[in-house]
Chains A and B, each alone.
Chain A
Amino acid sequence: EPEVTQTPSHQVTQMGQEVILRCVPISNHLYFYWYRQILGQKVEFLVSFYNNEISEKSEIFDDQFSVERPDGSNFTLKIRSTKLEDSAMYFCASRKGAPAYNSPLHFGNGTRLTVT
């Protein structure tokens, strides 16, 4: 069965550094998402992306965050200048169809980001 793949599985970075988290969504999916989960806390929506642009974003997704689909397969999340509180598990997800239809999210296994 096709999967969403994320790399790396674990990223350690120093505060103030830029990080790029990478995802390869399922190939025939059209909607792409980033969520994050701080240890032991809720799964929080960051951003959704469709048709090469951001369709929704949360308050967490401020100017330090950006997303890109640089080619036909990758979907990246960039954090420009990391803060300690950005430490979390970041999940990429994709879905095939339009919101009105039953089109569940398929998640990758996540990238654990540790900011020191």
Chain B
Amino acid sequence: GEDVEQSLFLSVREGDSSVINCTYTDSSSTYLYWYKQEPGAGLQLLTYIFSNMDMKQDQRLTVLLNKKDKHLSLRIADTQTGDSAIYFCAEILPYGQNFVFGPGTRLSVLP
């Protein structure tokens, strides 16, 4: 089945690292994405990882992929109040055109 799962809420203190987790169900997914949604706005692409990679780093963002467990995580270093948003992971199924989104993790950054 096509079901991407995420925990719904995460609170961290400003300056700490945040780790947002995602599990996906289709092991043949080629690309996995992280999107950020700020209040009242659309989904903004943050980063992606190709399925033959284990890790990708992009400034404060680190994406880890464990294909065996079908587990994806997004680490945000030195979390700031501006990082407060909903974070969605998404997969694209091979030979399909549909991106499947997780339910989103609401990240709250406390001062």
Interface residues of A, Cβ cutoff 8 Å to B: 4, 31, 33, 35, 41-45, 48, 50, 55-56, 58, 91, 93, 99-100, 102, 104-110
Contacts and interface: CB of A to CB of B under 8 A. Distances in A.
Interface string B67-111: 000000000000000000000101010111111111110000000
A43 B42 contact: no
A38 to B, nearest CB: 12
Contact of A99 (B90, B95, B104): B95
B43 interface: yes
Contacts, number: 61
A93 B97 CA distance: 12
Interface of B: 30-31, 33, 35, 40-45, 48, 50, 88, 90, 92, 94-104
Contact of A45 (B40, B43, B95, B100): B100
Contact of A42 (B48, B50, B96, B104): B104
Contacts of A110: 41-42
B44 A107 contact: yes
Contacts of B45: 104-106
B31 A102 contact: yes
Contacts of A44: 101
A48 B97 CA distance: 7
A37 to B, nearest CB: 9
Contact of A91 (B40, B42, B90): B42
Nearest to A42: B103
B98 A91 contact: no
A100 B42 contact: no
B48 A104 contact: yes
A45 B104 CA distance: 15
Contact of B99 (A102, A105, A109): A105
